[in-house]
Amino acid sequence: MQILVIGATGYAGRRVSAALARAGHTVLGLARDTSAPEARALTADEVTAVEGDFSKPETWRDHLDGTDAVVHLLLDMTNPVGGDQSLFAELLAAQERDGRRRHLVFTTGISSYGRTGLPLMDENTPGDPGSPIGFRFALEKELAASGLAHTVVRPGFMYGGPASTSMTGQWFAAAEAGSPVFYGDTAKRWSWVHVDDLADAYVRILDNPAAVDGETFVIADDQRLAALDMQRSAVRAAGHTGEIALESAEAGGMMHMAADQDELVTSAKARRLLGWTPRHTSFTDDPARHYRAWKAARPAA
């Protein structure tokens, strides 16, 4: 199968692209600049970097030719709703041109739920319309109504590897700077997933996409740890022995506001339908190893 990955040079995108290539697929990784180090690194993973700016469909439209599936792993903060709507429109137009029904794997996330007040959430839990990123659930509904072949993935909080956009990476960096801060409710708990376990879910979906057409999967491990305890283990691994300052979620910005509540989910459906199970138990099993991985991936000073 030929697969176009949007967001291939990103944190999850590179791991997902590499996992799909290892599974035997021909993988095209969309990159703004194919000469950039992040794009060249895709080549080492046997992924072909193709040039295009997601915000400008005319620059990547031709990459849909011959493609059987599209994996969307990018959140365009400059136009988060319109950008995804343009993607849906481009896929529909391509299908009309050549009759090829491409399968879209569309990524949102568990913070889209917002404040549900439920101790454990799954694929059927309705989101809170008041969530700062609740629009992502609205986009899921638009996709379902579009007629496109699709599967939705809602990952938990990611960790592992370079952790470039992971909350754990932010914690490591703040610890090294001597200024770790925890934003929001100190009692909140989040569900997490190792980035490679997440990549495995995409491989399983695209192994037989027709079998999961129209399905949504929550992908997270079974840990129920308090976010503040997670941060403490991260900053200690990075060598910080002092206190963690406490600030409001508002002080941390939109993403901290969106995640300022318990976000605990079950992946029972993914286990049942995909045969997926996390191979990594928890970030706290070996935070020093995750710190070393993050540190090694940092650009040289």
Instruction: Identify the bridge partners of residue 272 per DSSP, sorted by sequence position.
Output: none
275: left (phi over 0), alpha (psi -120 to 50) or beta: left
pLDDT on residue 68: 98
Give the span between the Cα atoms of 63 and 3, in whole angstroms.
10
199, 165 Cβ separation under 8 angstroms: no
Please report, for the chain, how many H helices and E strands are present, in that order.
11, 11
pLDDT on residue 107: 98
Q: Is the pLDDT of residue 51 over 80?
A: yes
The side-by-side arrangement of strands in the sheet containing 103-107 is: 48-51, 26-31, 2-6, 69-72, 103-107, 149-155, 216-219
Give the span between the Cα atoms of 77 and 262, in whole angstroms.
24
Q: How confident is the model at residue 301 (pLDDT cuts 50, 70, 90)?
A: low
Q: How confident is the model at residue 191 (pLDDT cuts 50, 70, 90)?
A: very high
pLDDT digits (tens, 9 = 90+) for 5-33: 999 999 999 999 999 999 999 999 999 99
Average of per-residue pLDDT across 119-143 = 94
Q: Is the pLDDT of residue 155 over 90?
A: yes
* Higher per-residue confidence, 132 vs 154: 154
Which ranges of the chain does DSSP label H, i.e. alpha helix? 11-22, 37-44, 80-98, 135-146, 167-176, 195-207, 227-237, 249-252, 254-258, 268-274, 287-297
Least Cα distance to 233 among 189, 269, 194, 285 occurs for 285
Phi first, then psi, for residue 29 (nearest 5°) are -110, 115
Measured from the Cβ of residue 37, the count of other Cβ atoms closer than 10 Å reads: 9
Average of per-residue pLDDT across 181-203 = 98
Give the span between the Cα atoms of 136 and 138, in whole angstroms.
5
Average of per-residue pLDDT across 191-197 = 98
pLDDT on residue 103: 98
Mean pLDDT of the chain: 96
pLDDT digits (tens, 9 = 90+) for 246-261: 999 999 998 899 999 9
Q: Which residues, including other chains, have CB under 8 Å from residue 90's CB and lie 6 or more apart?
A: 57, 61, 64
Give the span between the Cα atoms of 88 and 140, in whole angstroms.
11
- Residue ranges and CATH numbers for the domains of the chain are 2-160+191-222+264-280 (3.40.50.720)
Instruction: Identify the bridge partners of residue 237 per DSSP, sorted by sequence position.
Output: none
10 Å CB burial of residue 20 (0-12, 13-18, 19+) is buried
Average of per-residue pLDDT across 205-228 = 97
pLDDT on residue 130: 87
Q: How confident is the model at residue 129 (pLDDT cuts 50, 70, 90)?
A: confident
Q: How confident is the model at residue 300 (pLDDT cuts 50, 70, 90)?
A: confident
- With tokens 């059927």, the residue in question is 124
pLDDT on residue 42: 97
10 Å CB burial of residue 95 (0-12, 13-18, 19+) is middle
